Amino acid sequence: MASTLMLLSNPYRPDPRVLREARALVEAGIGVHLVAWDRDMDRPSSSTEEDVRVTRLGPKSSYRSLSQVGSGLLRFWFRALRAARKVDFDVVHCHDFDTLPLGMLLARLHGKPLILDAHDIYSFMIVGESAPVGRLLWPVERWLTSKADELITTNEVMAEMLSAERDKDAVIVRNSPDLSVLIGHTPEETRARHGLDGFVVSYFGSLEPGRAVEELATSFSPGEGITVIIGGSGTLQPAVERASRDNPVVHFFGAIDTDEVLRITGASNIVPAMYDPSNPKYRICTPIKVLEAMACGRAMVTTKGLDISETVEGIGCGFVIEYGRDELARTIREASKSGAMVQEMGRRGREYFEKHLSWSSSKATLVGVYKALLGPA
């Protein structure tokens, strides 16, 4: 059986995009072995998860200190090189630019084709921490990206930017959720299981600055009929946990199963997808929260200045507002009193998702890339 070696610089808790792609490949008869950087060193070093063989390696590292991340990444690369000696694979699949140098070396050593799967433009992520480093890294990222046999990314804007120095264009595999995980589950059942009532606002994702996480956790009071659910992990987790202890309308779910996140999204009334537009990474990305809300037929609230906000506004599937606490709180309060309008927004989003953004289309694209690289069976 053909197989792929995936490289990932997070612990795979699991990463939603990586999980969807791995499931699609396994279903297509392609084995998946994932080597992940466990920066927390708190997960099994070796396991099989949904038919995906997972190897997690250290070292332990910060997520935000550039110096710690840089030195830790180099050590992860060396450990991954050793681990790859024990793996049979036909394709090297790098998730994001920070595993690309490692993947290029493995592909050359083993004579295998190389896929870069750019979830984000990495240098734009770095700009948020250090603008000079990010600007220096951008031409390097474009040049190394041109060396991959196939380039996969998440939307048209990133495809155009990353394909500038390539002989062939990137293919788009979106971050769209797989709705098959909702089969057998209803919003009513999910609400009952988690004890949810009232107008439910849910955010699951990275708990980091620039996503209005603290604003969401501290803007509502008992008696307003609003229930706030926040899940995920990150540097703002202590602040969210504190809010959930002090305020009965705020519920912290921690890091939960990816499929359950989608079920809770479907049981919500509105989904915040608030990202600070001053960060170039956020301006060009298509947030998973937006796609999850559309897929589940739920209204969203997102930020002016993001590329995706034009689509949301054009479809009429959510509220587009200025980034900030007051606007977010006011919009959610107004939405909680406008049930028919919120439901219509959700319906429009679901209709657009089914026509243009479904996972089935992206899944076929991904499998097609692999079949072209692997050749006849």
Other beta carbons less than 10 A from residue 257's beta carbon: 11
What CA–CA distance (Å, rounded) separates 259 from 100? Answer: 28
Q: What amino acid occupies position 23?
A: R
Options 3.40.50.720, 3.90.340.10, 1.10.1200.10, 3.40.50.2000; CATH for 3-175+359-374 is 3.40.50.2000
Q: pLDDT digit string (tens) for 331-376? A: 999 999 999 999 999 999 999 999 999 999 999 999 999 999 999 8
Helix (H, G, I), strand (E, B), or coil: what is residue 265? helix
Does this chain's domain 3-175+359-374 share its CATH topology with 179-357?
Answer: yes
Give me the CATH code for the 179-357 domain, please.
3.40.50.2000
d(CA 295, CA 174): 13
Domain boundaries of the chain, sorted by first residue: 3-175+359-374, 179-357
pLDDT tens string 290-305: 999 999 999 999 999 9
* Cβ–Cβ under 8 Å, residues 302 and 226: no
The model's pTM: 0.93
- What is the rounded distance in angstroms from the CA atom of residue 342 to the CA atom of residue 347? 9
For 289-352, give the DSSP string: HHHHHHHTT-EEEEETTSHHHHHHHHHT-EEEE-SSHHHHHHHHHHHHT-HHHHHHHHHHHHHH
Alpha-carbon span 295 to 264, nearest angstrom: 12
Looking at residue 41, the DSSP 8-state letter turns out to be: -
Rounded to the nearest angstrom, the gap between the alpha carbon of residue 63 and the centroid of all alpha carbons in its chain is: 16
| Alpha helices (H) along the chain | 16-27, 66-84, 100-110, 122-127, 131-145, 156-162, 187-194, 213-217, 237-246, 258-266, 280-284, 288-295, 307-315, 325-336, 339-352, 359-374
Cβ–Cβ under 8 Å, residues 21 and 12: no
| Ordered per-residue pLDDT tens for the chain, 377 residues | 999 999 999 999 999 999 999 999 999 999 999 999 999 999 999 999 999 999 999 999 987 777 888 899 999 999 999 999 999 999 999 999 999 999 999 999 999 999 999 999 999 988 877 888 889 999 999 999 999 999 999 999 999 999 999 999 999 999 999 999 999 999 999 999 999 999 999 999 999 999 999 999 999 999 999 999 999 999 999 999 999 999 999 999 999 999 999 999 999 999 999 999 999 999 999 999 999 999 999 999 999 999 999 999 999 999 999 999 999 999 999 999 999 999 999 999 999 999 999 999 999 999 999 999 999 86
Q: CB of 20 within 8 A of CB of 177?
A: yes
